[in-house]
Structures are given as C-alpha cells and as structure tokens.
Structure 1
Amino acid sequence: MLNVIVTDPPRADLGQVAKLAEYGVATVHEAIGRTGYLGPAVRPNQQGTRVAGTALTVLCWPGDNLMIHAAVEYARPGDIVVITTASPNSDGAFGELLATSLRAHGVRGLVMAAGLRDTQELREMDFPAWTAHVSAQGTVKETPGSVNVPVIIGGQLIRPGDAIVADDDGVCVVPRPDVDKAVTASAARVAKEDKNRKQLADGALGVDMYNLRPKLEKVERISYAEYVKRAGEGS
C-alpha cells in the first residue's frame, strides 16, 4: 500500500453539493442511473439526519486509526470523512474524541467501512455517522496508511473531493465531475415524482400511470372461490 498524504485534492463545489442534500440518497442514486450507492451494510448511527459534503478519504491498516488522526490536519469545512481499511476489519477505530476534533475543523460527518464506537455520545453531540460495524474493541496508532487517495466501499470507488450524500437510506457517492449533472437530474426526478404523487393522491393507479398492464397480460384474474378450488386440486 502506498503511504501518502495528498494535501490539496480538488473538491466538488460546496454550493452544488448542498443542493444534493436537499434531494437525498434515494433520489440522487436513481437520478444518476442507479449508481453510487454504498449498499445496505453501511447504516446510519442516528435517524432523521441528511447531510452532503466532500469526501476526505482515509485508508487505514486493520485495527489501527493512526491515519484518521493524521487526516484531521487536512480537513476543510464541508468535508465528510470516508474511512476504510486495507483489509476487512470491524474494530472500533472512531469515537467521540475524534468526532470532537473533526467538528472543530468543520467536518460534517463520517462514513466508514470499519468499526464505530461511542455511538450514544455521537448521537448526543449530533455528529452524524454511517458505518458498517459497531464495536467497543479499541485500536492502536502505529502503522502509516494514506489520506486523500481513492478508496472502495461497498463496491463503489470514492475519490477525494467527490460528493457524498447520506441519510436514513444509506450513503451515495457522486463523482466530482458529475455533481452539476446530478443536481439537474435530481431536480428533474423530484418534479416528475411530484406530478406522479398528485395523480396517485387523486386515485390514479400505478399500473396505468406507468403503463404496466401489458406486463400483466399473462396474469389470470380469478375469484376467491376459484382460487380455493384450484389450490385444493394442487395439494
């Protein structure tokens, strides 16, 4: 593993990133072609929080949080720290003290494929975190890793400076060059859903709105009495 700290990666425009936060993970993920979702294993430590920011990536050795401490020096307001390990590990590499340090530097939250601890304290201090594991097991501070290099979580490539959107549904990454396009696509999707929502509220059927009836042509409609009769014959 290359041991480096990249001090000045380009970051997505925070104004545009803030717009992504208005739409949320499910909308952004769908709008950009159902890509970028980190998967169901990365779950929120809290409920009712939605944030977006720029990725400050950290690659640690298993059971070691040295590089998280190193990353704090390079954090900028609006960042979300994204942490993974060189091989799978669930040790509690991040807790309340590191959150306190990151908050002092304007960091908006945390996404990690390793382990989180001090979960109650993090909720009480309103520091949002999304994690693959919760573990009281501590870590050491011994082995150099990297900061602001590309990392992979949930099969998704995350580069430093990419946009990260996180809420109750999970986490989505939007590549830095695609943020403007994602904002436009998300706005269009919301407008379309607003129109559909009104039709559904007025009693329209989804099978008609979405032209699904042709897909159901081979599904036979029968009465309950007929269903019971056929089910009995097949038992």
Structure 2
Amino acid sequence: MSTSALYDAGPFSSPFDDADVCDISDACDRLDIPAVRTGSIKPMYQGCAPIVGTVSTVTLVPGAGAPFDSLVEAFAGADVMLVDLGGRTDVQCWGTVLATAAGLSGVRAAVVNGAVRDTSDLAEMRFPTYAAGTHPAGMRGRLVFAGAGADVLIAGRPVSPGWVVAADLNGVVFFPADRADRVLALAREIAAAERDMLARVREAGDLTTALHLMANRTDTDRR
C-alpha cells in the first residue's frame, strides 16, 4: 500500500479547498455551537496536511508501563486519533512506529494533547500529526494506558469521542458531529465572503475607501 493511500485526506477534506480552521471556528460562533479551540496544538512538520475528521480518544498517564499494544487495539475503526497526555511535553506518546500501525489500521491522522517524536520521519511518511510539542525519549517505562473512549480536556474544556476535529496551521477546533454539515457549509460561505470583501478592498485603491468597506462588512463577512 502506498503512503498516499494510507493517509488519504478522506471525506471531510474538501473544506480546505476553500476554507480553513479560522473559517470553521467562525462558523461555530455564528451557529452558537460549543466548539473547543486551541492554538497550542500545531502541525509537527512543514507541509503537514490540514485535517478534518472524527476523533477517537485514548488517554495515557505517567507510569512504568508499555502501552503500545493497548494503543494499537484502540486504532480499530478510528478515523483521527486524539491522544491525551494531559498537555504534558516532558514525555511523548507518538512516533513513526505508532503512526505506521495507525495507518495500517485505517487511521488518517493523530492529534496529541502532549508531545510526540520522530517528526522528520513523520514528515517523510506524510502522516498528519498535530501536537503541543516534541520530546525525544521513548514512552516505554514512562507511560501507561489509562483507557479509551473518555472525554479529553483541551484548553480546560471537554472534547468527546465522535466529535469532529479540524486542524491546520492556525490551530485546532473541535465541535459536535451532528452539526458538521452546517458548520462546514457555513465556513465555505464565510471564506467566500471574506475573499470577495478583500478583493473589493484591493480594488478600492485608497485607504479611506478600504477602511469603509472593512468597517461595513455584512454579518456573513465578519470574522
């Protein structure tokens, strides 16, 4: 199986053709959806693909364990893995071995509330990986598997299994899956309105007119 087949962007990838995480976040605001956002979880290598998908969750905690087998079992049927380390960056829980196992299991991406390693190899694999940082030490003997399917606290707010995650260079947004179609559709509308407004600003040719256009955007335009 080729790398591109392993890490196909999947059915939720299309918003990033014409919208981004900021537009998705704004759509959640417009629809009064209780989204969870963070700018502290970032792509772990240059050129990391944006992702939109449904999260499955696993939790790891410090301890003298070997959590690899339990993690791999949790990959079954998962789309995007949300791995919770409680935001810690003094240990890590994701690298090329787990990414390879995840890809072979059909997982398309990883979002880690904590640190990862092997970023150059993850880049070579083109496995989309978002995390709070990096740490070089192995996880064996440092982490134990605490369970799967629990809510994960991101920026102090709970993210539930089955929620949608969107991630790119701007950060990460999580929101309930039952509103995904409306959120993604509105995000495209917001992005299109923004592009149209910016085109009119550039065509205005002077600062006064440009400021007037920006100050009088419609509700759809506002970000």
Q: Same fold (TM over 0.5)?
A: yes
Determine if contact 1:90/1:133 at 8 Å carries over to the other structure.
no
- For residues 65 and 168 of structure 1, the distance between their equivalents in structure 2, rounded to whole angstroms, comes to 33
**Equivalent position amino acid for 1:40 in 2:** G
Q: Is the 8 A contact 1:59 1:84 kept in 2?
A: yes
Moved over 6 A (4+): none
What residue in structure 2 maps to residue 113 of structure 1?
A: 113
SS of the counterpart of 1:152? strand
In the alignment, which residue of structure 1 is the partner of 2:203?
Answer: 202
Specify the alignment match of 2:29 in structure 1.
Answer: 33
Cα deviation 1:13-56 (Å, max 9, x = unaligned)? x74x3344442211101121186353222111123321211101
Tell me the residue number matched to 1:57: 57
* Pairs within 5 Å for 1:44-83: 44-48=43-47, 49-62=49-62, 69-75=69-75, 79-83=79-83
1:155 shift after superposition: 2.8
What is aligned with 1:125?
125
Counterpart for residue 211 of structure 1:
215
Structure 1: state its 5+ residue gaps.
1-13, 213-235
Q: Which amino acid aligns with 1:137?
A: A
Equivalent residue runs for 1:39-188 within 5 Å = 39-48=38-47, 49-62=49-62, 69-75=69-75, 79-85=79-85, 88=88, 90-140=90-140, 143-188=144-189
Gaps of at least 5 residues in structure 2 are 1-9, 217-223
Q: Which moved more, 1:168-177 or 1:33-42?
A: 33-42
Counterparts of 2:201 and 2:68 in 1: how far apart (Å)? 48
Q: TM-score, normalised by structure 2?
A: 0.77
Percentage of matched positions with identical amino acids: 23
**3-state SS of the aligned residue for 1:94?**
coil
Output the CA distance in 2 between the equivalents of 1:65 and 1:171: 30
Counterpart Cα distance in 2 of 1:128 and 1:63: 27
Q: Do the aligned residues in 1 keep the contact of 2:94 with 2:116 (CA within 8 Å)?
A: yes
What does residue 221 of structure 2 align with?
A: none
Q: Distance in 2 between matches of 1:60 and 1:133?
A: 16
Q: Which residue number corresponds to residue 5 of structure 2?
A: none
- CA shift, 1:189, in A, is 0.5
Alpha-carbon spacing, 1:68–1:209, altered in 2? closer, same or farther (3 Å): farther
CA–CA distance in structure 2, aligned partners of residues 65 and 210 of structure 1: 56
| CA-CA distance at 1:100 after TM superposition | 0.3
Q: Which moved more, 1:111-120 or 1:21-30?
A: 21-30
Contact kept, 8 Å, 1:63 with 1:93, in 2: the verdict is no
Distance, in Å, in 2 between the alignment partners of 1:207 and 1:65 is 59
User: What SS does the corresponding residue of 2:133 show, helix, strand or coil?
Assistant: strand
CA contact 1:58–1:68 (8 Å) conserved in 2: no
Measure, in 2, the Cα distance between the counterparts of 1:93 and 1:20: 29
Q: How many corresponding residue pairs?
A: 198
Give TM-score scaled by structure 1 length: 0.73
1:18 counterpart residue number: 13
